[in-house]
Amino acid sequence: MNGRKLTVNFLVLLVCLLTLTGCDRSAKEKDKAATEAAEAKAELAKVKANLGKTKSERDELKESIAGISEELEDTRSKLAAVMQAQEELQNQVTELTEQRDAAIARAKSSQATVVKLSNQLKEKATEIRELEEWVKELQATIKELEGQIEEMDKQSTEEFVDGNNV
């Protein structure tokens, strides 16, 4: 927009100069043209000042963009590092998950073994109780037989003593 205004002002100035130099006009018109030329010069000076200010602002923006570009590069670098760390953590999670799954499988296997051994223990305990009862029966039978042997020994001794006394 400033470029258009500059062009328009320049054209006005040019027209004024042409009017002053190329035409036989009255002093009034010449004064008017001179005034317009002065105004155009003043406007041109304002436009140049605005252009200088705009260039200064542009330079500041370039510096800001350069700073932002550096920050962007730094941020990208940090993002790459974060992504690398995330990948490493994901690998650790995968490894831990595999270890956990293996531990669960071992625990299930151990649990099945414990159940199997528990059942075997119950069977053996039942066998032991049966054997203990059988041992008690045998002990009772042995005591009974020992008692019978003692009686037989007494009878034999009495018969022997009685046989010798006759």
Angle (deg, nearest 10), helices 2-22 and 27-165:
170
Find the domain containing 30 and state its range: 2-165
pTM score of the predicted model: 0.43
How far apart are alpha carbons 47 and 69 in whole angstroms? 32
Query: Considering its fold, how many domains does the chain have in total?
Result: 1
Listed in sequence order, the residues at least 6 apart from 37 whose beta carbon sits closer than 8 Å to its beta carbon are 13, 16, 17, 20
How far apart are alpha carbons 92 and 85 in whole angstroms? 10
How far apart are alpha carbons 118 and 138 in whole angstroms? 30
**pLDDT per position in the chain (166 positions), as tens?**
566 666 777 777 767 666 656 555 567 777 887 888 888 888 888 888 888 899 999 999 999 999 999 999 999 999 999 999 999 999 999 999 999 999 999 999 999 999 999 999 999 999 999 999 999 999 999 999 988 888 887 887 777 777 666 5
Work out the angle at residue 32's Cα, subtended by the Cα atoms of residues 27 and 37, and round it to the nearest 5 degrees: 120
Instruction: Using alpha carbons, select from 32, 6, 42, 44 the residue that is nearest to residue 23.
Output: 32
